[in-house]
Amino acid sequence: MKVTEHIKNASKTLFSIEVLPPLKGQTINSIFETMDELMPFNPAFVDVTYHRQEVVYREVEKGLMKRHAVRKRPGTVGICASLMNRFNIDTVPHIICGGFSKDETEDALIDLNFVGIDNVLVLRGDPEKGAGIFKPEPDGHAYASDLISQVVELNKGNYLDQELKDTSKSNFCIGVAGYPEKHFEAPNLKTDLKYLKKKVDLGAEYIVTQLFYDNKKYFEFVDNCRAAGIDVPIIPGLKPITSHKQLSVVPHYFHVNLPDRLVDEIEECKTNEQARQAGVRWCIQQSLELIEAGVPVLHFYSMGKAQSIKEIAQEVFGS
Ligand code: FAD
């Protein structure tokens, strides 16, 4: 079922999660274990992230380095199929522009369609590590909005090869990312909202937000979106702080601000376990306030760690 149908049919705030493919060489069991922990809280759908190739340099002889392209977390399509079979749950694979030509994207969408997946979260992807700015593939997309147009065309049965006759249509429900504290490359929130609106005008049916720790930022973002004419559901994305180290890692990777009180509370903790528990308490408060405000879904970034999400779900969605 499509994410938008889940939202339409729901009488209360839904629970959903995002999982990461395991590192290459590991089994899928870590994802099954995460799902085993979280299935009792009836997630409506599970997102599976996509990870582009990275370039690494490895020493082949003393002082001689060789360039390798490695995809550290492959398996998004297979994981989606596996989760659908094993847990009978709807999956939302992420698809990105980075590292993909339009033809490769089309083939990936055909795979997803054949597997029976009818949701995609359409993203640009981050710049390659060390590259600074995002560079599209020579025959790839520069922005998520361009990739949306390709999915929309496939939904109409329009493939890249225009010679194809009597083509079948895909039926993907398209989600996109939104940034309550603005995307880090955008000059300001207004410009970022202009492009977010473009994504919706082109066919995005819902928005999932970047994680945030101050609900005020989410509420203001929703108000700004509505004022800009963006009227699709806006799903808040949450990730509890799980250690002292995350006080610097989270702002670095996700370009978000941490409220003073949260930082004080984590800093006062003597151990990482206490910090994790403080992160869980903060996220529970955020969740309860968001539910009170009537958000359609609470979407949790699990980052391969189910324990904190389980404790939050127990408090927020447990009967
Ligand atoms: P876009 O919407 O293309 O925007 C990128 C930037 O360009 C923004 O600053 C925007 O304002 C600007 N912009 C947009 N359109 C135009 C235009 N036409 N002209 C000029 N400027 C424009 N990354 C992964 O690699 N894999 C994942 O699985 C993944 N999952 C994610 C899930 C969520 C919910 C979120 C919030 C992020 C995720 N990311 C993932 C990270 C994401 O790829 C990065 O944040 C990326 O830098 C931007 O992606 P986007 O789709 O928001 O890009």
183: Cβ below 6 Å to ligand 1?
yes
Specify the CATH number for the domain of residue 19: 3.20.20.220
Residue 21 contacts residue 304 (beta carbons within 8 Å): no
Q: Which atom of ligand 1 is nearest the CA belonging to 191?
A: 11
317 three-state secondary structure? coil
The residues, ordered by sequence, that sit 6+ positions from 303 with a Cβ below 8 Å of its Cβ are 20, 239, 242
54 Cβ below 6 A of ligand 1: no
CB distance 239 to ligand 1 below 6 Å: no
Give residue-wise pLDDT tens across range 191-229. Answer: 999 999 999 999 999 999 999 999 999 999 999 999 999
> Is 70 buried (19+), middle (13-18) or exposed (0-12) by CB count in 10 A?
exposed
Any atom of ligand 1 within 6 Å of the Cβ of 123:
yes
Rounded to the nearest angstrom, the distance between the alpha carbon of 290 and the centre of ligand 1 is: 24
- Comparing 74-78, 84-88, 175-179, the range with the smallest average pLDDT is 74-78
The ligand 1 atom at the shortest distance from the C-alpha of residue 301 is 34
16 close to ligand 1 (CB < 6 Angstrom)? no
Encode pLDDT of 244-267 as tens digits.
Answer: 999 999 999 999 999 999 999 999
Query: The pTM is what?
Result: 0.97
Query: How far is residue 139 CA from its own chain's centroid?
Result: 24
Kindly report the protein residue whose alpha carbon is nearest to atom 28 of ligand 1.
49
With a 6 Å cutoff on the Cβ, whether 97 touches ligand 1 is no
Judged by DSSP in three states, 296 sits in coil
Residue 70: domain span: 3-316
Mean pLDDT on 85-103? 97
Question: What is the distance in A from the centroid of ligand 1 to the CA of 144?
Answer: 6
Band (pLDDT 50/70/90 cuts) for residue 128 is confident
CA distance 315 to 46: 20
Q: Per the structure block, which two tokens stand in for 133?
A: 């700015």
Computed over every residue of the chain, the mean pLDDT equals 95
Please state, in angstroms and rounded to a whole number, the distance separating the CA atoms of residues 198 and 176. Answer: 11
Mean pLDDT of 146-159: 98
185 CB near ligand 1 (under 6 Å)? yes
- Which pLDDT value is given to residue 319? 67
Q: Is the CB of 303 under 6 A from ligand 1?
A: no
**Total domains in the fold of the chain:** 1
